[in-house]
Structure 1
Amino acid sequence: MGELVNVVVAFAVIVILFRWVTSGSESSEQRTATSALGFRPKNVTPEMVLTVSSMFPDIPVDNVRYDLLRTGSIELTTNKILERSYLDPPPQGYWTLYPRQTSGSSTSTTSRGANAQASKPKAPSLIARYSLQERINSGEEVAQEELETAGGKAVWEDSAERREQSLKERKAKMVLAARQKFLAQQAEKEKVA
């Protein structure tokens, strides 16, 4: 019985020494991160955050980074987003370690959105894309019955060129009908206001 007590005490001493030695190897930053977040954060690279953020642009970058710090895996984070369609927001302790970045950061949602808008050329309007400016200037209106059936069924044409022309005409009618509906809605809003 005495030997059993000695073995248990020796084992307890070894476990305590091992924990003391391994916790001493942790840097003060790691201890601060562990105490602030409540768990030991995994190594997360900016590429990991960028990968998940590019797949799910509607999820805030800080939520993505926080979940990656917990899981350490892009796959687990993306599965969580697919299952729940959101990620939990980071706790207050997260913001002490990772303060919100203002301009100049490519991972910040506000600056990323501003940079994307500044660098991306503005897409041409549908009117310009389908060369409908002449029809608008001539005052071509879409009849009310055409407005409701714009882009409806097409007749199968014999040649590819005629089918393409028919498709272009249907697209043009749909764009003009949508524009006319939009202008009518704007006029109603102005009457109400």
Structure 2
Amino acid sequence: MADEQVSLTSLILIIVLGGLIIRYLFFSPASQPPRPTRDAQSASRAREAAVERIQQMFPQVDRRTILWDLHRNGGNIAATTERILSGRLETPPITFQPPPPPASPTPSLTAQTQTFKAPPKPAEPDLITRYRLQDKVTVNSEVESVTKSKSWSSNRDERQASLQRRRDEMILAARKKMEAKMAAEKVDGKTQ
């Protein structure tokens, strides 16, 4: 038994079979679900986005011609742009029928058209209204809150109340500064 040796062919056969078993167990295509519809949808969206980008740069070039050139060069936007700039863009053959454009406009197109017809945004309430500080605005501005605590409390409710009070004080201080600035601008405007 000590004289038994493993031949080279049997060693190669063991390595190849081991590799195939490992490949079958860990890298089998059954573990990855096929997604042809998702790939087709993403390719369609990418193609439409590329056409949209090029048409934004060159509105005089029709969609069919852009799609033909993108189809020919594998979707390379830079190559299509270079061909348009150099005037070497070829007209597509009659047999080339691109897919129809999407029925609904893409989000970037709707955003672009909204810049021209920007509807007024609903006015958000100011901070005084938002945090219900109207009664504190009417109180004398020189009165400071007496209940300031110097240390950080271990009680959660006290900490929250303290932070809300500090927020309110900061909002009111900012309002005072803004009112003073506006009053100073009015005075400067009258003197000039």
TM-score of Structure 1 vs Structure 2, range by shorter chain: 0.3 to 0.5
User: What TM-score, normalized by structure 1, do the two folds share?
Assistant: 0.38
Structure with the greater alpha carbon radius of gyration: 2
Greater helix proportion: 1
